[in-house]
Amino acid sequence: MQEGIELGSRIKSLTPRFKLKTEQYASDGDDYLRYEIDVCPGVIVIAETALDSHVIDRIETTSNYFVTAKGAKVGMTVAELRKLYPRGKTYIGAEEGWYASFSTNEGVYFELHTASIPRDCFESNRNCERVINDVKAIRAYIQK
């Protein structure tokens, strides 16, 4: 991420350099704040904090601007992510709407493009391995 937009940093430290849009939301009974940060043209980063802490505990982006220490980024296929993170895992399911993600097991996970995955893969986990390798990451999340 841009210098200073990292887990554990305080939102207040970003206000001199970036324009922030703030939104409050609740999840599992807890209140959070989401900050939309315009890093540069075409690059948006979302930083989240607990309502009462203002310390960043989750970051997300749909931009390939963010690159992990091993070189993974939005837009890569699962096959490319697996080469960088051989111990990484894919998660696919149909609960609360279809979901698909790749976890690096190092605090970063990638949301996958679900429209590229056949329906039977979500419902019965059949035919997943042969198609999942070509599916692209569309969003990156970093959290503790």
Say whether both 82 and 51 belong to one domain. Answer: no
Q: Is residue 64 part of a domain?
A: no
Count of domains for the chain = 2
Side chain identity at residue 4, one-letter code: G
Q: In this predicted model, what pLDDT tens digit does every residue of 4-44 receive, in sequence order? A: 688 899 998 888 888 899 999 988 888 999 999 998 888 89
Q: How far apart are CA 26 and CA 107, in angstroms?
A: 22
The tokens describing 119, both together, are 């329906």
- 77 token code pair: 């296929």
Q: Does a structural domain hold residue 17?
A: yes
12/3: higher pLDDT: 12
pLDDT of residue 130: 79
136 and 97 co-located in one domain: yes
Give me the domain span that covers residue 82: 78-143
Q: What is the pTM of this model?
A: 0.86
Task: Give 37's strand partners.
Answer: 20, 45
Residue 103 lies in a domain: yes
Given strand 89-93, what is the order of strands in its sheet? 20-27, 30-40, 43-50, 58-61, 137-143, 108-112, 99-103, 89-93
- Round to whole Å and give the CA distance between 11 and 17: 11
Given a contact cutoff of 8 angstroms between Cβ atoms, the answer to whether 39 and 101 are in contact is no
pLDDT score for 61: 95
Q: Which contacts of 79-84 are long-range, i.e. CB under 8 A and separated by 24 or more positions? A: 79/133, 79/134, 81/110, 81/137, 82/133
Same domain, 52 and 84: no
C-alpha to C-alpha distance for 141 and 127, rounded to whole angstroms: 26
